[in-house]
Structure 1
């Protein structure tokens, strides 16, 4: 991963000048380098434009160039986020049943379940998620919102309001089997993130692999990616609770019970294409 490891990248690039191996770096957050105006983002943009064109270096984004052609100015190639196909590498089937699954199912009492998973903070849309729930009695009567993951300190007050209004909150780290339990029961997975968090997402990736519809921000990279992959989404305008309420109430797919959690066949194709992209980056003939 390039972000956070620039020193290691530079050392590896330097070795490459003296006969060392090819350097391949994964670029997680290309948008800030494309659109950012701060001195840090401008330096990142300049750095990537130079490094990605060096003969023994390959910079690879984890989102396809099709959804943002400007990626090609910063990178040599692309793959799909590994969290969109990593479950295909499991040696045994996912067994998601847990006490948490039964508890949420009982609390839902037949209502469709919308789950927000992982870190709960403003960037991941947690504050917006809680406002939709707290501001609409219709939403509370028709759905169950579940937020599961550690809540950021700045969002603790909203988390309390969410819980006092009947939302299901698990403010702690989730074990993998608990996470899959929530995917199992989810009718919709929340990936409607802030414009400041416009990038690939493991929560989205696992939802895609497990065939779960996803709430995404209109115009986001995830919305474009879903359209490209023909994955079912509920597009939502960020910070527009009235629009979000109507979008959820109008989503006909949310009235049906979720299907069993199995790995979608599409994930195997994403793995094939991604591994091919990585072999190409490393100069390995197929």
Structure 2
């Protein structure tokens, strides 16, 4: 705590790790006249109707936003919901939309035995990758039910579920495996994660409606020029449309449509050059981060195209 209070500037990579701690540090630093910047992952939680916690969060962040020495940067763009501007000073794109630019530029890619094994087992079929801890919110039971209803999909598509399976998802993992999917029930290394994404044809980002946040998997798919499945009408769907990145859209829990979407993977027109989209996300986000960290109201206004309010 003492180090945080003494620092000239502090950036919280995510304030949600410990809301109470962040508020305490930000307010104490404001009293001392020191600048604090924080990445705000889920401003939408301030506007969930019927929940007292949402009302409390909304008023708390509105108060914090009024402090001149605190800058809150949402990773959900304000064009998704204008109300976000009432609890955050500005927005940037999720860093996982633009963090691979140097690797892409230098072709600096890891390989792994896992990625080689996936390519071999696919036998030329497109690969759909469900990556990370499978859960209800991430749509894993939905995917498993699609496979149970349409196991013939596996004749033309290899489906890989990679990540430690929690106990409440064991049955869904069994369904996926029985249908012919490859279930890798363990934590993956960083190199395995990135190399698996690179060898995949399509990534799964079709999440439950209550989990309507940004998606690092969508961002990585976009950076790597991969196909991606998203929930129709989700925030990620809207972001993809705004950035003009084509996606497979599916209504959550619609087995028939889900099966039809899976049958399209690997088909269709080539995806656009994603490097230009990535650079746009990076340049805009870095400009706003720099302006916020340097506490330059004029440049902050310029970086936000005049659409975000400078500190009051």
TM-score, length-scaled by structure 1: 0.90
Question: 2: CA distance between counterparts of 1:105 and 1:255?
Answer: 18
Deviation larger for 92-101 or 32-41: 92-101
1:141-165 C-alpha deviation (Å, 9 max, x unpaired): 2211111111121001110221122
**Secondary structure, counterpart of 1:206 in structure 2:** helix
Candidates 61, 68, 92, aligned match of 1:79: 92
Q: Is the 8 Å Cα contact of residues 87 and 263 (structure 1) preserved in structure 2?
A: no
After TM superposition, list the pairs within 5 Å mapping 1:7-46 onto structure 2. 7-46=20-59
Q: Is the 8 Å Cα contact of residues 229 and 247 (structure 2) preserved in structure 1?
A: yes
Deviation at 1:36, TM superposition (A): 4.3
Deviation larger for 98-107 or 140-149: 98-107
Aligned to 2:309: none
1:56 counterpart = 2:69: yes
Q: Is the 8 Å Cα contact of residues 16 and 23 (structure 1) preserved in structure 2?
A: yes
Aligned to 1:213: 227
Deviation at 1:256, TM superposition (A): 7.2
Candidates 79, 90, 107, aligned match of 1:93: 107
Superposed CA RMSD in Å reads 2.3
Q: Is the 8 Å Cα contact of residues 147 and 175 (structure 2) preserved in structure 1?
A: no
Listed as ranges, the gaps of 5+ residues in structure 1 are none
Question: 2: CA distance between counterparts of 1:17 and 1:171?
Answer: 46
Deviation at 1:280, TM superposition (A): 2.5
Aligned to 1:224: 238
Deviation at 1:89, TM superposition (A): 4.3
**Secondary structure, counterpart of 2:79 in structure 1:** helix
Structure-2 change in CA distance of 1:17 and 1:97 (3 Å): closer
Aligned to 1:200: 214
Aligned to 1:67: 80
Deviation at 1:263, TM superposition (A): 7.5
Structure-2 change in CA distance of 1:32 and 1:10 (3 Å): closer
Deviation at 1:8, TM superposition (A): 2.8
Listed as ranges, the gaps of 5+ residues in structure 2 are 1-13, 300-312
Q: Is the 8 Å Cα contact of residues 113 and 145 (structure 1) preserved in structure 2?
A: yes
**Secondary structure, counterpart of 1:114 in structure 2:** strand
Deviation larger for 13-22 or 116-125: 13-22
Count of equivalent residues? 282
Deviation at 1:258, TM superposition (A): 9.1
Aligned to 1:247: 261
Structure-2 change in CA distance of 1:236 and 1:212 (3 Å): same
Q: Is the 8 Å Cα contact of residues 24 and 281 (structure 1) preserved in structure 2?
A: yes
